Amino acid sequence: MEYDFLVLGSGMAGLTFALNAAPHGTVAILTKKQRSESNTNYAQGGIAAAMGADDSWELHLQDTLIAGAGLCDREAVEVLVREGPRMVQWLIELGAQFDRNPDGSLALGREGGHSRNRILHAADHTGYEIERTLLIAARKTPHITVLEHYQALDLLLQDGACVGVRVLDTLTGDLFEIRARAVLLATGGCGQVYLHTSNPPIATGDGIAMAWRAGAVIANMEFIQFHPTTLYHTDAPSFLISEAVRGEGGLLKRRDGYRFMPDYDPRAELAPRDIVARAIDAELKKTGDSCVYLDITHLDAEFIQRRFPTIYQTCLQYGIDITREPIPVVPAAHYTCGGVWTDLHGRTTIPRLYACGEVAYTGVHGANRLASNSLLEALVFAERAAIHAAARLDEPPPQPKPSCITARLAPPTPAPQPDDHADNWDAARLRIRQVMQKRVGIVRTVARLQEAFCALETLAAQLEAAYRQTPITVDSCEARNLAACALLITQSALARKESRGLHSVLDYPEPRDEYAACPTLITPA
Ligand SMILES: Cc1cc2nc3c(=O)[nH]c(=O)nc-3n(C[C@H](O)[C@H](O)[C@H](O)COP(=O)(O)OP(=O)(O)OC[C@H]3O[C@@H](n4cnc5c(N)ncnc54)[C@H](O)[C@@H]3O)c2cc1C
């Protein structure tokens, strides 16, 4: 099979790229499950854009830079916030139905870290609405073919340039190659590397791992955003309780009813996510409790059901009526701020390879992502990448500016002997996730990071050996990719000898001036 543009992933980034590339050639979108299965589909809160009468791109820029704790790439943020409103308008023109006020104007919500109301939402299922809109548009667009249940395994390189991918047909087990003039990684983040995550099972960091094995530069992987509030219930997977619940007045309380956030930050429940997640972590350690509570029982019950229908129904399913009782919550891994290093056009350091959305590092999130900026990032940079790939594909690839935090990490070489259980992929996956949760979580120490790195290095080498000696399956491929992402996160965390934004290390409790504006760059050689 051969196409002009090969898109890996059918979330917001992949679909936006495909729609913008289609006028310039044939497009194949490869996706490892059904086409709608993506993080995009589960996004609840909304998409940020300075579209309110009292708002401006300058204010959105300011808020993003503050959340990013000195580590955002200002130029990239400016692209994001200036182009954001136009791209959101494009989505609306494609058919996305965002909530509106009685007078027909957009109903703009507020989330932590935003100084203005600028979150467009479709109740609490904004991502579903966006995914639905983009999939309908893709179906109507000539030249776009969606290939479901095809899992990309590794990038094909020729003379250093990306010319396609090796693929597993997950229904038949067949292996084959797909070639293209340009390849886009839009495979999303790696939340599944942690035991507790808000991400669906597809989020195994495949694109990041593939790019690293192919020799691309990877950046800022230590900055994993933990969402402060996912439902804590023994029978429920980590279901997200959107930040919008706090935006509408939800209060965080301990089991004894004490409201603790004002003790940590003057913005209380509306402080940026890293502060809220660390506060909850500290309270849980202090009290020994398993969860804290998010209380919205003081709000009107009818309003709660209308504003948060999915959250209301899901909690009810687990026996919690959120109009009458507080919601038990814990923090969980939510968003990968780092990823494959890209320039302002989504180009990676490998010729003809682009990356957009959560798989990519563009520099817009810095040390902490501002709520609802990730859907916007996927939208804005995917269009830019498509425009670039259509017209300027042959330009030499960019390189990041030198950074004072750089490290080398070679992809694992297979262990001489895979241990007896190395091809028990479920067990390997669980082991990786446990190590990450315990040793590379919200608050880190150098000793725990070092222990994690040693354990992961051994495990990754054993998995690599087993991967090469057994038939390739979805499970073997994902376990190998999770191990790669776990190593990249841990190595990056060890390299950054300071605390900043989402990266908190007890041994280095303060940010260091010399590290401001220094992304962590990992090269594979
Ligand atoms: C519960 C939840 C709530 C969120 N809420 C918000 C919010 O309110 N606002 C906001 O801005 N952000 C939110 N986010 C984050 C946001 O949803 C994601 O960052 C964004 O949707 C990422 O889009 P993407 O296109 O990059 O990747 P995704 O939407 O994750 O799509 C990745 C695609 O790649 C495919 N794929 C992966 N690996 C392979 C492979 N090897 N081969 C083939 N296909 C592959 C997947 O199947 C999927 O189709 C939320 C995330 C979660 C999990």
The pairing of beta strand 360-361 with beta strand 339-341: parallel
Nearest CA to ligand 1 atom 44: 31
Q: Does the beta carbon of 13 sit less than 6 angstroms from any atom of ligand 1?
A: yes
Q: Mutate which of 8, 33, 38 to test ligand 1's pocket (most atoms within 8 Å of Cβ)?
A: 38
Q: Is the CB of 428 under 6 A from ligand 1?
A: no
How are beta strands 327-336 and 224-231 bridged, if at all? antiparallel
Cα–Cα distance, 488 to 494 (Å, whole number): 10
**Pairing state of beta strands 443-444 and 504-505?**
parallel
Measured between alpha carbons, how far is 222 from 368 in angstroms, rounded to an integer? 11
- Please give the biggest Cα pair distance in the chain: 69
* Residues 456, 450: Cα–Cα separation, whole Å: 10
State whether the beta carbon of 374 lies less than 6 angstroms from ligand 1.
Answer: yes
Q: What is the DSSP letter of 23?
A: G
What is the token pair recorded at 67?
């959340």
Q: Does the CA dihedral 8-9-13-14 come out positive or negative?
A: positive
> Which parts of the chain have pLDDT scores under 50?
none
Burial class (CB within 10 angstroms; exposed 0-12, middle 13-18, buried 19+) of 289: middle
Closest by CA position to 110, among listed 7, 224, 247: 247
Which residues make beta-bridge pairs with 522? 218, 407
Question: Which residues have CB under 8 Å from 370's CB, separation 6+?
Answer: 48, 63, 64, 67, 68, 113, 114, 272
* Catalytic positions: 273
Q: For ligand 1, is residue 372 a contact (CB within 6 Å)?
A: yes
Nearest CA to ligand 1 atom 10: 372
- Main-chain dihedrals φ then ψ at residue 38, nearest 5 degrees: -160, 165
Half-sphere exposure of 116 (CA within 13 A, CB side): 20
Q: Quick check: CB of 127 below 6 Å from ligand 1?
A: yes
Sheet with strand 224-231: strands edge to edge: 224-231, 327-336, 292-295, 251-253
Asked if residue 335 has its Cβ within 6 Å of ligand 1, the reply is: yes
Cα-trace Rg, the chain = 22
Please choose from 375, 474, 478 the residue to mutate so as to test ligand 1's pocket, defined by most ligand atoms within 8 A of CB.
Answer: 375
**Measured in angstroms, how far is the CA atom of residue 333 from the centroid of ligand 1?**
13
For 425-460, letters b (16+ CB in 10 Å) and e give: beebbebbbebbbebbbbebeeebbebbbebbbebb
Which amino acid, residue 246? Answer: R
Does ligand 1 lie within 6 Å of residue 519's CB atom? no
Nearest atom of ligand 1 to the alpha carbon of 191: 53
The residue whose CA is least distant from atom 20 of ligand 1 is 40
> Distance from the CA of 159 to the center of ligand 1, in angstroms?
31
- Going from the C-alpha of 111 to that of each of 46, 85, 102, 386, 423, the distances in angstroms are 9, 17, 22, 30, 44
- Please tell me the residue having the least CA distance from ligand 1 atom 41: 152
Nearest 5 degrees, angle CA 68-CA 73-CA 79? 105
pLDDT confidence of residue 242:
87
Which atom of ligand 1 is nearest the CA belonging to 481? 41
- Strand, coil or helix: 409: coil
Q: Which atom of ligand 1 is found nearest the CA of 244?
A: 8
- Please give the distance, rounded to the nearest whole angstrom, from the Cα atom of residue 103 to the centre of ligand 1: 33
